Amino acid sequence: DSGVTQTPKHLITATGQRVTLRCSPRSGDLSVYWYQQSLDQGLQFLIQYYNGEERAKGNILERFSAQQFPDLHSELNLSSLELGDSALYFCASSATQGVSYNSPLHFGNGTRLTVT
Amino acid sequence: KNEVEQSPQNLTAQEGEFITINCSYSVGISALHWLQQHPGGGIVSLFMLSSGKKKHGRLIATINIQEKHSSLHITASHPRDSAVYICAVRSGSGTGNQFYFGTGTSLTVIP
């Protein structure tokens, strides 16, 4: 058990809709990372938050946004959903304190999003 | 352009064989991760490397920073090692990190 909790496990929704994915990091971890894994693109880094602030951005679409709350849980919001957004969305956490670049990653089990 | 290249894409081995998966990268890195993803989808971080070599049980990971290359070795492979192995490089310093991923190596170990 990584200690990282993602909800929901599965989500089925229609095109044009908006969904929110939730991630609770491992206790004490300050960094949360979001990744998307689709069949045709593999794993891609979306965005990182550290202690409530956005710290790095990857291939995140403008229709997607995220935030990290004071209790360190994070939410990834996906709007105007398209068929191509169907994917596994993972979050990972790292760093109990200080810099996070040399801290191990702990992954959640992912949320499988299906857009129909 | 892929910042991270992995080889081979697919690998089938007999139980007990020694296995090597290679990863080359083109960006400056602060760390390299080897990840394991089982058919159920969950991802486990096996190693995080910034230099040298690490060993955990039958798994060994090495990195050559000058050559921008890393290898993951599995000694005495077992069917339970069947999974997708993904190389990921972490770029950045301080508290902000970018990640780039290889496309993964699908390993099947036959009893």
pLDDT digit string (tens) for B74-93?
A: 999 999 999 999 999 988 76
Check residue A36 and give left, alpha or beta (phi > 0: left; psi -120 to 50: alpha). beta
CB atoms within 10 A of CB A78: 24
Q: Which of B9, B97, B100, B106 best tests the A interface by mutation, with the highest count of A CBs <10 A? A: B97
Closest-CA residue to A107 (of B82, B45, B40, B56): B45
Per-position DSSP letters for A18-47, written without gaps between them:
-EEEEEEPSTT--EEEEEEEETTTEEEEEE
Predicted local distance difference test score (pLDDT) of residue B2: 86
Statement: residue A100 has pLDDT above 70: no
With an 8 Å Cβ cutoff, are B43 and A90 in contact?
yes
With an 8 Å Cβ cutoff, are A45 and B104 in contact?
no
Average pLDDT over residues B36-56: 90
Could you tell me the two tokens for B46?
């096996």
Bridge-partner residues for B6, per DSSP?
B23
- For chain B, give me the number of helices (H) and strands (E)? 0, 11
- Determine contact, residues B105/B21, Cβ cutoff 8 Å: yes
pLDDT tens-place string over residues A67-81: 999 999 999 999 999
Q: Cα torsion at A15, A17, A18, A19 (round to 10°)?
A: -70
Distance (Å, rounded) from C-alpha B111 to C-alpha B102?
27
Is the CB of residue B65 less than 8 Å away from at least one CB of chain A?
no
Q: What percent of chain B has a predicted confidence (pLDDT) above 90?
A: 78
Residue A102's pLDDT band (cuts 50, 70, 90): low
Closest partner residue to A107 (CB to CB) among B45, B92, B93 is B45
Residue B3's pLDDT band (cuts 50, 70, 90): very high
Element (H, E) at B24: strand B19-25
Closest partner residue to A101 (CB to CB) among B41, B92, B103 is B92
Per-position DSSP letters for A51-95, written without gaps between them:
TTEEEEE-S--TTEEEEE-TTS-EEEEE-S--GGG-EEEEEEEE-
